[in-house]
Structure 1
Amino acid sequence: MKRSRLLALLVGGVFCLAVMSLYRVLEQMQGAEPHRRGDAPDEQVDEDLSRLQQKIDRLEQLLSDNNQLVARLRDSLLQRKVSWERERGGANGSSDSTYSRADRLPGCRLAKEMKDGAGGVQLLDVYDLLSFDNPDGGAWKQGFEIGYRGDEWDNQPLELFLVPHSHNDPGWLKTFDSYYQDQTRHILDNMLLKLSEDHRRKMIWAEISYFSKWWNDIDEQKRATVKRLVGAGQLELVTGGWVMADEANSHYFALLDQLMEGHQWLQRHLGVTPSSGWAIDPFGHSPSMTYLLKGAGLQNMVIQRVHYAVKKHFARQQTLEFLWRQSWDSSPHSDIMCHMMPFYSYDVPHTCGPNPAVCCQFDFHRLPGGRVFCPWRVPPEPITEQNVQERALLLLDQYRQKSQLFRSPVLLVPLGDDFRFVESSEWDAQFTNYQKLFDYFNQHPELHVKASFGTLADYFDALHRRLSTAGTSLPTLRGDFFTYADRDDHYWSGFFTSRPFYKRLDRTLQATLRATEILFSLTLAEMRRFSVDGRLAADFPAREHFQRLTVGRRNLALFQHHDAITGTGRDPVVVDYGTRLFHSILNLRQVLQSSAHWLLLLDKSQYHHDQSKPFLQMDDVIWAQDALPQKTTLTLSAEPRSLIVFNPTEQLRTSVISVTVDSPDARVVDAETGRPMAAQISAVWAEPSQVSTEAFQLSFADELPPLSLVVYHVTKAAAGSTPRARYTIHRRGDPPTIHNEHFQVSHPPEANAPLLLSNKHIQLWSSWETGLLQKLRLQSGLLRQLQVQFLWYGTRTGANQEKSGAYLFLPGEEGPQPYSSSEPPLVRVSRGPIFSDITSCFRHFTHTVRLFHLDGHAGRSLEISNMVDIRSEVNRELVMRLVSDVANGNRFYSDLNGFQMQQRRTLAKLPLQANFYPMSSAAFLQDSASRVSLLAAQSQAVASLRPGELEVVLDRRLQQDDNRGLGQGVTDNKLTASLYHLLLEDRAGGAQVRGGAWGGSVLIIDCIKDGRSNRP
């Protein structure tokens, strides 16, 4: 197949793929679901593939319509450009000095003119306002005394909904499968029986990963019962995600993936779409998630883990219920109604009202004789005719106090906890005793309370109705709820980095899944032209590949659970997650190889699938779930070896492609045109000062069209014909002597002059002694001091003090300490025509800064890679810090889920650990002259503790539990890779900041981020 023809197919397919993704959410495709145990009927999968073909037919028509729309938009933009140039006096006209460049640009002016809605709350301003002094609030320790007169409900009775729930973690102290066998399946089995006994009983369920697994185990009669309960409103599926996802570390791609998997399952099997979200356990909350929920059709949501001081402030202001709006939005288009639970936890003692000692008495799972008791030493009592009045009035007092924190007399009271309602006896105890209390309330109108079991749909329907009738409005809120603290100065900023190896593996699976879905979809589209009687080619394993894709999506979705990607599960659970990610990557690679094979073949009749002998091989292999990828060595000869490169992005990109070969003499040509590619041979270092004699790195650069498969031929070349990198080795005091027959290696004498690398865009200076970056200069002449430093954080040492653990970051009083080593680092400088780099080899990490000799974005940024190993350390966290002369004050920006940038403010009134925030993919700091951006291939904690500084936590090894339920430290560290791009920009003018969000253009950041995450 000619490249032009293949490229046309691929580029055309991107729109198809994008719309197909939207169809998954909005139209809820009705295809069959392959079951994990392989029990999906073949006919069901065939039907699904047939439907996929039908959608491709429809989408081809949409593609034609889209091309016409793009043409019209292009013409409109050209007209606007002419109009704009006329307004400012022509393209070469003089500018008005009273306006900045940002004011003159139409896009920036539009952003500047957008205003916040009336009565809006900006969380950044709330943080500035709060004192964070944490006085004792009495019964509600983190709050205040709540009073009421008693007549507040005379005209508007209190309408109470008690919402039974069971929070089932898909892995935490046990693996997903162990939890299911031991607890979850019993909860759901009992749910069918106990809800069916009384139509007044209700329940909500969130985790579709468990629900779908249970559905596969039950018979048709029980499935019919489930449908009846859902239809009657007794059982509500809330959020509808595969898991209750973490909102700090997860990328929006994976968040959307887990949401679509759950919603598709619900639509396919139950025909329902959730209307309300339920996020009671993620450790902080992001507006990116609310944006996805709103786009998926949800109108309401409940959140719980918010800083206790923020909860207290919102409770005083009666703003615990609000309309959560995106920071860039000046209209209510993105609004979603949000209910913030006011108290410490989502368990029963902290949900009925402000006094946990009283509320615990109404958790009837804790009745005397059971395995669970009330820590306040006052146990629950069974409700009888003799005590019902006293018990009801005691409980009603808590309900009334809680209702004073809200603007409506409609009250939400959750009833549940982790893995509740396992045993039949708990169902009976809770529902029977509460029904007696409700009967008493409802039979005494003088109490002005109407109580019942309910779902979130019941609650929000009543809330909307009461607010509308009373003409009550809710405030609008913008911002995010990071960083979370549950008490004292215990900030949950540790999990932003915990288990970084698996955070990086998560992104590897995500990128592999995205690329595979694209190629598989395009293969099916192309295959129709070679089908017989409408059936797909018999030898292409479409059914098996579809199952592999489904399992890959679900394993990625499972890992977004708030005890998975967070690194807060027990060691065996982490291994289970890692194994799932690892096997999914391997399986998706099979689909990738097979799909690329089909697309590249000119004669499709020659296609033959043999998984034991795949036609294509990947350029690296992963041997285990806890191992880094190892490059495959390509054996060269006079016969050309084909190298296929897939650009999985929708942009034209210039990329450096690197493979490992067995000879230092190699030649690369474009297979279609025969064009020779400029190349570079670099050494493969087995040890810091040991060069491999059997493997060499071959690198070349090319411009890759969007979504293209490009074929190159690699052959062995004449000796010495391929340019080779030149090396200099530095080490203070005792430099090693390295001799190699293939590379020029020099050992210059010690000097204090900095090391210098440059291309046409950037000059960089690094320390001769350490190899670490010192300053950068742009082609424009902008010079910035920009140093890279490494530091250690320890943890608190007091006997009665909490210490850092998987969740918490509680550094010692000494603060960060400069990294030091007993031996000076070995520094290697490599110079070549494709790239040059400086590598510093320290005891605990190897740090490389690479400069590409390219045009475009790749040549304007530095690639930074770290290989970290802190397995020998005790209670230490390793940090990479950038120190610049950027005058950013106390403000910097970090991204939320790779979706939007959020302004951060470093506050002196907060402890050090409170000023760390999640960074999913990017952070930057800026002043009027320049911007420094750090773009990351993995999620981790980020902070700017002093002006001009930006630091990220690379890894953490902690011996102890931090008393948040895990029961262990974090000591299963691996050899871990981290990857970044460092970008210095000259700011001519200033983009606007509005509402705490970034209002200007960050297109160059987005391009580099996308290219870094989705490499060829």
Structure 2
Amino acid sequence: MHFSTCCGLLVVITTICYGAPSRSANTCGYETCNLGDPSKLNVHIVAHTHDDVGWLKTVDQYYYGARNDIQHAAVQYILDSVIMALDENPDRRFIYVEVGFFWRWWNQQTSDIQTKVQQFVNEGIYLVIILLRLSEVLNQGRLEFISGGWCMNDEASTHYNSIIDQHTLGAEIIRQAFGECGRPKIGWQIDPFGHSREQASLFAQMGFDGLFFGRADYEDIQTRNRTKTMEMVWKASANLGEQSWLFTGILPHGYGAPDSFCFDYRCSDNPIMDDNHRFDLNVQERVRSFIQAAHDEAAGYATNHIIMTFGGDFQYEDANQNFKNLDKLIKYVNAEQANGSNVNVFYSTPSCYLYALNKADRTWKSKTDDFFPYAHHPHGFWTGYFSSRAALKRFERHSNNILQVTRHLNAFANTSLRNSIFYLSEAMGVAQHHDAVSGTEKQEVAFDYAQRLSDGIGKAVDVINQAYNKLLPKSAQSPPLQAQFLCQLSNISQCLEIEGQDRFTLTLWNPVIHPVTQHVRVPVRFDYTVHDPNGQTLLTELIPISEPTQKIPGRTSLTQKQIIFKVALPALGFSTYYFEKKPDQQRTKEKSTVKITHNEACVLQNQYLRVDFDDQGNLHRIVNTNKNLGVSFSNQGFYWYQGFAGNNSRPEFQASGAYIFRPVSADPQPVSTTRTITCIKAEQVQTAVIIFNDWASQEISLYDEAEYTEVEWTVGPIPINDNIGKEIILRYDTDVNSGNKFYTDANGREVLERTRDYRPTWNYTVVETVAGNYYPVNSRIWIKNQERQFTILTDRSQGGSSIHDGSVELMLHRRLLYDDRLGVGEPLNETAFGEGLVVRGKQILFLQAPAASAAYHRIGAQRMYMHPLATYSLVQQSYDTYTANYRQTWTALADTLPLNVHLLTFEHLVENVYQIRVEHYFEQNEDDTYSHPVTFDLQSVFNSIGKIEQLVEVTLNADLPLIDLKRLTWVTGDKESSHPNVPEARLMANSTVRLIPMQIRTFNVVVSHP
């Protein structure tokens, strides 16, 4: 089924309504919930399945039930079975999360089954419940969608852009099939390994009323159980106030059933045996055990309502077996009320449980930090996965860049190819799974994730070509263009398609709404004349490709040089650069300006910075000459932690693996005691190539007029011939008096202060001095004192910390020889081309005064994750002929937009309807200039498309017009009330938009074409 068939019509008519089955009055929503008996302990039974979108098996294998020798799991049969079981008994309830699986199953059903499922979602059921008297209660629908993302995403390694995208994709599917009654209102992050404050903030902005998860640190759980604070109001943004508040609960049993009450066919617990004519009758014992379990759980919770999950990984393939026993359990437990029991048990959902808590008329403890790092025992810190599969983490981030650019080009060229873009959108949705980008899957599954992204990119390139075929030609008479292509191996200085070509073009699309100036590197066999869009010949230089780069396994190019030049790109637009091979005699006459020295002291210097190295390759100092600031380094380079080689039989024998980071020693070893340095100086760039050994090197570069230092690192193949697993870090030991404080971002957005060996909400027991202080670094980490801030930007998610005062380290790559026995069943030992995997990456270093740093790290981080996309094309025409037929530069914008505004999403939905997200990406009080509210006109973004006729603001996941959003109100212990409804939500009369710091606003827009 094509994507457009099930979700192509996103918005229609002038009010931009949502075209889907509409809800009948009073048939769904909180008002239909069974709230139990106020005089009893109400047990909300939540039947569910947790279906990993890949982990031990691929997505396809999980869906169809293939390779059950690895793990018995078949999602299609789970959904078949659940629908049949719900049809048998109207009392039953079930929740489902992973829309990526549901969408597949839905498309394979008959219209009769689809109608039945719609009834289960949309229709309430009248139940007769016998309490002390006979009463009629209207209950919620039998099937409820929770979270509604394409998957249950990871929270440590994901970027907020992709979290929003995958929830928007899932929400669109649900809305089209089920309308308002299908709209998820609860986050359900039961399996991710630690929880991000930004994730909670995003859920609140999606209009969710609550969040439940299953994992929290063992000491945190102990404290919360003792103090009855397992449920709280999470104040998830220091900038957005009450709009970001989200009621949050920690589930009592992870996400499984209470002990001895798993009724799934794969469990060994006894069923309910209730035949009075047989000897194996166990009803009395089972009821007594359940009532005790309910009271034990209630001891850690604050109201007379508790939630019990009945389900687990890929459970309910035989749903009747589960429900048949739950039916009996409910019947017999409630019958004990006649004998004085106060336990009242019934089928429910997380939404109805949340609503019961909301009606409890009480105040709640609040929380402002996050739930990282997570440990399940004193030696079990799940901080290794912050860095596991570093290459996949980078590929996912790069794929998002391509996805956003493809959406831009499809919209501005009006190519109407959203169906083709769906392949990459879906692959990106799958990649956000908590066993995908996290790096905690089997190797074969990691290959499958990468293949899906690659296939999606292939489809996206087709869209890019068709878009450029419209945008580039100056007239209909212009000759057809040669196909555009990506050089996907440019990170290792390889682009075989252009090698030896006499002519080719490079087109760069700038996806941000501000002009960008940067340097471009293109690997070439020989020198070229490069013409810019204005016909000028650019200043270019040929510099050598470093020896470590040339030796990377799998690099087949013989190219040893790269051409470098500076480009100035228009905001939200493209520029094309024409390459023409220089004649041999011209190349012979030209004298190179590049100077190279070996193993001599090296000073890199431009208009703003100076970087000093000694003749041994040691980085000594970075000086911001413009601001008269400097930072000195006692050490800078690669170190390795030895991964603990335990057998996992007890906590003290916990091994380091895909999930767990557990170094043998808190003092990492240098990868080498010596190093070599090659200093390359050209007019456009100066680089120190520092080789530590045959598997670790870095290239530290300073570009002309740049206010940052670039570090490109290469690690691998990590040697394991000594039978020792190694975890590689890049560490900077500085003279910044930072104390025990450092700062990391949350999913690329807000920044949290970290304190070494400290947790804000419980008395932390220090056992693992390194792993217990590692945090996710999605885009930046820094240390500071009053005068200086040293900031590192990353090109992917990594684990990082400040283990010592003045020190910052980031884990780059891991190669381990033992499994940590948390499910994967194999060590994290990635290989390629017959040896250990080589990984490359970049870091950007800033040295500024703290008050001035925000502008640099905010803008720098934005442009690292949303950088210009380069496509190449081979041309036969001369330069004059090419320029006569094709545009060489173009921008979509009519006006300059404020620098603190980012265009997060720009997507053509249908016909003349677009979806746009804009954000203010500075925090309050970060910057004197950019941390203030900002107002601008959205029409400037649509200048090239048409006139905005209507603008409707919707929730962050585009699930509901914001004017219709009514969130629940919560009151904290200090009597603060959330007052969550946004007063400015309205059908907008014009295209003027105001943003406060850290705010994201989403609009569905109707335009009239010129």
TM-score range, shorter chain: 0.7 to 0.9
Residue pairs, 1:379-778, within 5 angstroms: 379=270, 382-383=273-274, 387-424=282-319, 426-441=321-336, 444=338, 446-465=340-359, 467-468=360-361, 472-524=362-414, 542=416, 545-604=417-476, 606=478, 615-618=482-485, 620-621=487-488, 630-632=494-496, 634=498, 641-664=504-527, 666-671=528-533, 673-685=534-546, 696-717=561-582, 718-719=586-587, 724=592, 726-731=594-599, 754-770=601-617, 772=619, 774-778=621-625
Cα distance in structure 2, aligned partners of 1:648 and 1:256: 18
SS in 1 for 2:382: coil
Give the structure 2 partner of residue 255 of structure 1.
163
Runs of 4 or more, structure 1, over 6 Å off, are 51-56, 688-693
Give the number of the structure whose residues are more often helix, by fraction.
Answer: 1
Contact map agreement 1:257 1:557 (CA 8 A) in 2: yes
Give the structure 2 partner of residue 900 of structure 1.
750
How high is the TM-score relative to the length of structure 1?
Answer: 0.74
* Residue-by-residue CA offset, 1:736-778 (whole Å, 9 max, x unaligned): xxxxxxxxxxxxxxx6xx3211001001112322354544343
Cα distance in structure 2, aligned partners of 1:194 and 1:438: 21
TM-superposed deviation, 1:434: 2.1
TM-superposed deviation, 1:335: 1.0
TM-superposed deviation, 1:157: 1.3
Cα distance in structure 1, aligned partners of 2:315 and 2:866: 41
SS in 1 for 2:326: helix
Contact map agreement 2:214 2:255 (CA 8 A) in 1: yes
SS in 2 for 1:215: helix
Match 1:364 to one of 260, 263, 266: 263
SS in 2 for 1:924: strand
Contact map agreement 1:165 1:414 (CA 8 A) in 2: yes
Give the structure 1 partner of residue 144 of structure 2.
236
Query: Which structure 2 segments of 5+ residues have no match?
Result: 17-35, 66-73, 124-140, 759-765, 832-836, 869-1010
Cα distance in structure 2, aligned partners of 1:861 and 1:803: 39
TM-superposed deviation, 1:593: 2.7
Give the structure 1 partner of residue 974 of structure 2.
none
User: In structure 2, do the counterparts of structure 1 residues 54 and 402 end up closer, same or farther at CA, with 3 Å as the change threshold?
Assistant: same
Residue pairs, 1:106-121, within 5 angstroms: none
Give the structure 1 partner of residue 714 of structure 2.
867
Cα distance in structure 1, aligned partners of 2:746 and 2:803: 19
SS in 1 for 2:311: strand
User: In structure 2, do the counterparts of structure 1 residues 437 and 865 end up closer, same or farther at CA, with 3 Å as the change threshold?
Assistant: farther
SS in 1 for 2:396: helix
* Residue-by-residue CA offset, 1:899-950 (whole Å, 9 max, x unaligned): 1111111118352211011111110110001000000011110010001100
TM-superposed deviation, 1:1004: 1.5
User: In structure 2, do the counterparts of structure 1 residues 1004 and 413 end up closer, same or farther at CA, with 3 Å as the change threshold?
Assistant: same
Match 1:226 to one of 94, 114, 117: 117
Give the structure 1 partner of residue 845 of structure 2.
982
Cα distance in structure 1, aligned partners of 2:191 and 2:558: 53
Q: One-letter code of the match for 1:764?
A: V
User: In structure 2, do the counterparts of structure 1 residues 682 and 802 end up closer, same or farther at CA, with 3 Å as the change threshold?
Assistant: same
Give the structure 2 partner of residue 1014 of structure 1.
866
Cα distance in structure 1, aligned partners of 2:550 and 2:54: 43
Give the structure 2 partner of residue 10 of structure 1.
none
TM-superposed deviation, 1:635: 6.4
Question: Are 2:695 and 1:844 aligned?
Answer: yes
Question: Are 2:187 and 1:270 aligned?
Answer: no
Contact map agreement 1:555 1:580 (CA 8 A) in 2: yes
User: In structure 2, do the counterparts of structure 1 residues 160 and 779 end up closer, same or farther at CA, with 3 Å as the change threshold?
Assistant: same
User: In structure 2, do the counterparts of structure 1 residues 683 and 890 end up closer, same or farther at CA, with 3 Å as the change threshold?
Assistant: same
Q: One-letter code of the match for 2:312?
A: D
Match 1:340 to one of 250, 254, 258: 250
TM-superposed deviation, 1:966: 1.1
Cα distance in structure 2, aligned partners of 1:965 and 1:730: 49
TM-superposed deviation, 1:693: 7.8
Query: Which structure 1 segments of 5+ residues have no match?
Result: 1-32, 57-152, 350-358, 525-539, 609-613, 732-750, 992-1000
Q: One-letter code of the match for 2:484?
A: Q
Cα distance in structure 2, aligned partners of 1:389 and 1:582: 57
Cα distance in structure 1, aligned partners of 2:248 and 2:827: 34
Match 1:811 to one of 663, 666, 678: 663
Give the structure 1 partner of residue 781 of structure 2.
923
Contact map agreement 2:627 2:848 (CA 8 A) in 1: no
Q: One-letter code of the match for 1:34?
A: H
User: In structure 2, do the counterparts of structure 1 residues 694 and 755 end up closer, same or farther at CA, with 3 Å as the change threshold?
Assistant: closer
Residue pairs, 1:903-914, within 5 angstroms: 903-907=753-757, 909-911=766-768, 912-914=770-772
Give the number of the structure whose residues are more often strand, by fraction.
Answer: 2
Contact map agreement 2:272 2:325 (CA 8 A) in 1: no
* Residue-by-residue CA offset, 1:323-366 (whole Å, 9 max, x unaligned): 111241484221111111244x32224xxxxxxxxx21x2233x
Contact map agreement 1:919 1:942 (CA 8 A) in 2: yes
Cα distance in structure 1, aligned partners of 2:703 and 2:557: 23
Question: Are 2:29 and 1:156 aligned?
Answer: no
Cα distance in structure 1, aligned partners of 2:441 and 2:321: 27
Cα distance in structure 2, aligned partners of 1:773 and 1:590: 48
* Residue-by-residue CA offset, 1:142-182 (whole Å, 9 max, x unaligned): xxxxxxxxxxx997311111101110101111111111111
TM-superposed deviation, 1:305: 1.1
Cα distance in structure 1, aligned partners of 2:402 and 2:625: 35
User: In structure 2, do the counterparts of structure 1 residues 640 and 578 end up closer, same or farther at CA, with 3 Å as the change threshold?
Assistant: closer
* Residue-by-residue CA offset, 1:88-125 (whole Å, 9 max, x unaligned): xxxxxxxxxxxxxxxxxxxxxxxxxxxxxxxxxxxxxx
Cα distance in structure 2, aligned partners of 1:217 and 1:683: 55
How high is the TM-score relative to the length of structure 2?
Answer: 0.74
User: In structure 2, do the counterparts of structure 1 residues 958 and 798 end up closer, same or farther at CA, with 3 Å as the change threshold?
Assistant: closer
SS in 2 for 1:860: coil
User: In structure 2, do the counterparts of structure 1 residues 577 and 636 end up closer, same or farther at CA, with 3 Å as the change threshold?
Assistant: closer
Counting matched residue pairs gives 789
SS in 1 for 2:316: coil
Give the structure 2 partner of residue 796 of structure 1.
644
SS in 2 for 1:1002: helix
SS in 2 for 1:328: coil
TM-superposed deviation, 1:274: 0.5
Q: CA RMSD in A?
A: 2.8
Match 2:48 to one of 165, 172, 181: 165
Question: Are 2:728 and 1:878 aligned?
Answer: yes
Cα distance in structure 2, aligned partners of 1:660 and 1:52: 48
TM-superposed deviation, 1:459: 1.1
User: In structure 2, do the counterparts of structure 1 residues 692 and 772 end up closer, same or farther at CA, with 3 Å as the change threshold?
Assistant: farther
User: In structure 2, do the counterparts of structure 1 residues 427 and 865 end up closer, same or farther at CA, with 3 Å as the change threshold?
Assistant: same
Cα distance in structure 1, aligned partners of 2:349 and 2:213: 15
Identity across matched positions, percent: 25
TM-superposed deviation, 1:649: 1.3
Cα distance in structure 1, aligned partners of 2:166 and 2:560: 41
SS in 1 for 2:356: helix
Contact map agreement 2:37 2:344 (CA 8 A) in 1: no
Q: One-letter code of the match for 1:406?
A: Y
* Residue-by-residue CA offset, 1:282-319 (whole Å, 9 max, x unaligned): 00111211122112121111012110111121222222
Q: One-letter code of the match for 1:447?
A: S
TM-superposed deviation, 1:780: 2.4
Match 2:201 to one of 271, 282, 291: 291
Question: Are 2:740 and 1:890 aligned?
Answer: yes
TM-superposed deviation, 1:278: 0.8
Contact map agreement 2:493 2:549 (CA 8 A) in 1: no
Contact map agreement 1:509 1:556 (CA 8 A) in 2: yes
